[in-house]
Amino acid sequence: MTYRVLNPLQVIREEPPKPFAFVEIIPGSIVTVKGKVRESGRVEVLCNGQIFGSFIRDIAGRAELVEDETT
């Protein structure tokens, strides 16, 4: 599923050896959910060639669906 970010979206970038870092994706950016939603609601998203972690509820609340590959 592909989304256009409408409001700033905070995601997590894992940076070994550090545990993680927060990154803000700006409005107008396109993010693509990769794989399935985990039981926790966490998903991997692709933005500008980088993979980040996010929660599907955050994406749904701050972005609009532009393409749904499941339909």
User: Mean pLDDT by 10-residue block, N- to C-terminus, for the chain (71 residues)?
Assistant: 97 81 95 92 94 95 88 51
SS3 (DSSP) at 8: coil
Q: Which domain, by its residues, includes 11?
A: 2-67
Q: Give the CATH number of the domain where residue 62 resides.
A: 2.30.30.40
CB 32 within 8 A of CB 1: yes
Q: Which two tokens stand for residue 32?
A: 């693509």
pLDDT at 70: 60
Q: What does pTM read for this prediction?
A: 0.85
Strands (E), 1-71: 2-5, 9-13, 21-25, 30-34, 42-47, 50-55, 63-67
CB 63 within 8 A of CB 45: no
When divided into structural domains, the chain yields a total of 1
